[in-house]
Structure 1
């Protein structure tokens, strides 16, 4: 099994949430020592290596992804900073992982999650506005005072 949490360019990663699991986490959120958040997905595998995608996300965007407001496809296809990491972990442990930066237009469609696939976790994405005072009614005198009439 590849050490998917030890990426030289990202630092040592710590999983903060697992969204999908099959023998190991295959879709999860993690952070590094300085607090940068990443969404990670197992994208592909063949007889030589496993390929994973790592996309940096802000806390706000992660909340939107968690709530389903942003689907998983778009979370990876349209990164906030325009790029993501593609990491290939060879099954031969004597070889180092291959790390490649991909711009959003370079990401192979078949490596992305299915379009429309979403998480649906209870997430606070907007704060509730609560007021006990009624909204003021429109007062034409206040609105028109010190205003020029334009024809």
Structure 2
């Protein structure tokens, strides 16, 4: 047991002495090699004629689950960051487009044109040219189903498998 977790032992033992079990308690334990490992513990009292004579402990290594949770949290934070950036870009496009127009129709047209232009620029690294000069989808962008790709008439050849 790591030094900073020694207080858990007295709490667990008091629960066991009272005849109660400790269900799915997540904590950190030390391996024989000295490394720390996150575990889920379940500790149950062992009774003999109503008297607690010992305890049964099941410890499950939850390292993989903890890593998966950390990765999920990182991806969620990254997604939130990207969504905020998209809203920021959209707001900037609208503000920039509004400076040079007089009507709502002109604004809609200007915003649409700017967004299409941005979409085309974003896909430049994804495109590559065939010998015939026709745009072809790169492996990075094969699964892209964005409307901007269809408008640019990006095509797939038979050897481009989705």
Q: TM-score, normalised by structure 1?
A: 0.35
Higher strand share: 1
Q: TM-score, normalised by structure 2?
A: 0.33
* Bigger Cα Rg: 2
Greater relative contact order (Cα < 8 A, sep 6+) = 1
